[in-house]
Amino acid sequence: MRFGAFQAVKDVSFSLAEGEALGIVGPNGAGKTTLFSLIAGSLTPSAGSISLASESLVGKDAAARCLAGIGRTHQVPRPFLGMTVFENALVAAQHGSGLPAGAAERGAAEALTRTGLSALANRPAAALGLLDRKRLELARALATAPRVLLLDEIGGGLTEAELITLVGLISELKADGLSIIWIEHILHALLKVIDRLICMSVGEIIAEGDPQAVMRDPSVMAAYLGG
């Protein structure tokens, strides 16, 4: 991915197995969020290819990729504040899942159940605290019936107790078979969930593999100290 003369993501190549949870770490500016935008279709790569199962995603916009099964949470949740929790999930299910009307309602309700939000279904999104906003961000992504879930620093700002709750939710999604890529700075939370870890630095993958081994890699430690 080039922005003018600047190359934000360089020759990054990896695959995600079905049901796998992959973590991505790296200092600020490493290109992590840009990589998610390339996968989710909000940026068009200057070169290279991205596919889901054997189907190429190149040329599909973000809405089409969502329908194809790419679900994404954003670093800064932006729910429809004037809508209720259920309505937020319903909009996601109606526009992102490809389900017919009745099934979209069930999909939205199920997304609230899976994220522990059912009791708050009729509360305005604007009235939610931070953990519940994170749950809603997750519920909106789940309501689109993703095959791959992209989590962008969803742990940020939470207390330790809240992080334990969030890690529990994400672990359940993984146990249900969802494939997950999770960018996160809070390593102890990330390491409870992921099977494999990639570390990026200045647009490149500098280490990949077993999470503990990646964290011990001298180039990873240097990138963090340098970043």
Q: Is 32 in the site for ligand ADP (CB under 6 A)?
A: yes
Q: Of 34 and 88, which CB lies nearer to ligand ADP in the complex structure?
A: 34
> In the set 25, 33, 85, 125, which binds ligand ADP (CB under 6 A)?
33
- CB of 220 vs ligand ADP, minimal distance in Å: 14
| Angle (nearest 5°) at CA 184 between 162 and 6 | 150
Which residues in 4-38 are b (16+ Cβ under 10 Å) and which e?
eeebbbeebeeebeeebbbbbbbbeebbbbbbbbb
Q: Is 31 in the site for ligand ADP (CB under 6 A)?
A: yes
Lateral strand order in the sheet of 21-25: 70-72, 148-152, 179-183, 21-25, 196-201, 204-209
- CB of 45 vs ligand ADP, minimal distance in Å: 13
Q: What's the rounded Cα separation, in Å, for the pair 36 and 172?
A: 22
- In 3-state terms the chain splits into helix, strand, coil percentages (rounded to 5) of 45, 20, 40
- CB of 180 vs ligand ADP, minimal distance in Å: 17
- CB of 33 vs ligand ADP, minimal distance in Å: 3
Q: Is 49 in the site for ligand ADP (CB under 6 A)?
A: no
Q: Of 9 and 85, which CB lies nearer to ligand ADP in the complex structure?
A: 9
Q: Return the SS3 of 44.
A: coil
How far lies 203's CA from each of 57, 75, 77, 209, in Å?
21, 19, 25, 18
> In the set 2, 3, 222, 227, which binds ligand ADP (CB under 6 A)?
3
Q: What's the rounded Cα separation, in Å, for the pair 139 and 137?
A: 5
Q: Is 201 in the site for ligand ADP (CB under 6 A)?
A: no
Q: Of 132 and 184, which CB lies nearer to ligand ADP in the complex structure?
A: 184
Q: Of 91 and 187, which CB lies nearer to ligand ADP in the complex structure?
A: 187
Q: Of 136 and 183, which CB lies nearer to ligand ADP in the complex structure?
A: 183
Q: Is 8 in the site for ligand ADP (CB under 6 A)?
A: yes
* Residue numbers 11-30 binding ligand ADP by CB under 6 A: 26, 28-30
> In the set 34, 73, 88, 179, which binds ligand ADP (CB under 6 A)?
34
Which residues in 139-156 are b (16+ Cβ under 10 Å) and which e?
bbbbbbbbebbbbbbbbe
Interface contacts to ligand ADP, rule CB under 6 A = 3, 6, 8, 26, 28-34
